[in-house]
Amino acid sequence: MLDINWKPDRNIPTRLNIQIVNFIKNKIATGEWSVGFKLPSQRTLSEIFNVNRSTVVAALEELKAEGIIHGNAGGGTTVINNTWTLMSNNHSHNWLPYLSSGLHQTNRNIMQLINQAEFQPDIIRMGSCEPSPELIPNKMIQSVLKKLSKSMPSLGYEEPKGSIQLRKEVCTYLKTIGIEVDPSSVLITSGVLQALQIISIGLLHKNSVIYVEKPSYLYSLRTFQSFGMQPSGIKMDDEGIEIKDLLERHKRRKGEMLFTIPTFQNPTGSVMSLERRKILIDACNNERLPIIEDDVYREIWFDEQPPQPIKAFDYNGLVLYTGGISKNLSPGLRIGWIVGAEKVIEKLADIKMQMDYGTSSISQNVTTELLSSGLYHQHNDIMRKNVKIRRDTALAALKKYFTGMGTWNIPRGGYFIWLKLNEGISMYELFTKALSRKVLVHPGDLYEFHSNQYLRISYSYASLEEIEYGIKVLSELVAEQIFSNLNRN
Task: Name the pLDDT band for 86 (thresholds 50, 70, 90).
Answer: very low
Report whether 131 contacts 383 (CB < 8 A).
yes
Report whether 124 contacts 438 (CB < 8 A).
yes
Do the domain assignments include residue 5? no
Do the domain assignments include residue 1? no
| C-alpha to C-alpha distance for 461 and 126, rounded to whole angstroms | 7
211 and 336 together in one domain: yes
| C-alpha to C-alpha distance for 191 and 186, rounded to whole angstroms | 14
Do the domain assignments include residue 8? no
Q: What is the pLDDT of residues 350-404, one digit of tens each?
A: 999 999 999 999 999 999 999 999 999 999 999 999 999 999 999 999 999 999 9
Q: Which CA distances in Å does 426 have to 124, 233, 443, 473, 484? A: 21, 23, 10, 16, 11
369 and 385 together in one domain: no
On the question of pLDDT at 103 being above 70, the answer is no
Report whether 109 contacts 1 (CB < 8 A).
yes
Do the domain assignments include residue 11? no
| C-alpha to C-alpha distance for 405 and 480, rounded to whole angstroms | 12
| Residue numbers of the domain that contains 34 | 16-102
Q: What is the CA radius of gyration of the chain?
A: 25
* CATH of residue 205: 3.40.640.10
Closest CA to 235 of 248, 226, 224, 222: 248
334 and 392 together in one domain: no
Report whether 294 contacts 261 (CB < 8 A).
yes
Report whether 191 contacts 367 (CB < 8 A).
no
333 and 209 together in one domain: yes
* CATH of residue 92: 1.10.10.10
Do the domain assignments include residue 397? yes
> How many domains is the chain partitioned into structurally?
3
198 and 306 together in one domain: yes
State residue 447's pLDDT score: 85
State residue 318's pLDDT score: 97
Count CA atoms within 13 Å of residue 197 on its CB side.
17
Q: Mean pLDDT over all residues of the chain?
A: 90
170 and 297 together in one domain: yes
State residue 85's pLDDT score: 47
Closest CA to 233 of 247, 213, 218: 213
98 and 242 together in one domain: no
Residue range 474-485: average pLDDT? Answer: 91
Cβ atoms < 10 Å from Cβ of 159: 12
Q: Is 325 exposed, middle or buried (0-12, 13-18, 19+ CB in 10 A)?
A: buried
Closest CA to 323 of 202, 215, 459, 181: 181
pTM to 2 decimal places: 0.81
383 and 461 together in one domain: yes
* CATH of residue 478: 3.90.1150.10
Report whether 275 contacts 239 (CB < 8 A).
yes
Closest CA to 230 of 189, 251, 259, 272: 259
Closest CA to 131 of 366, 380, 431: 380
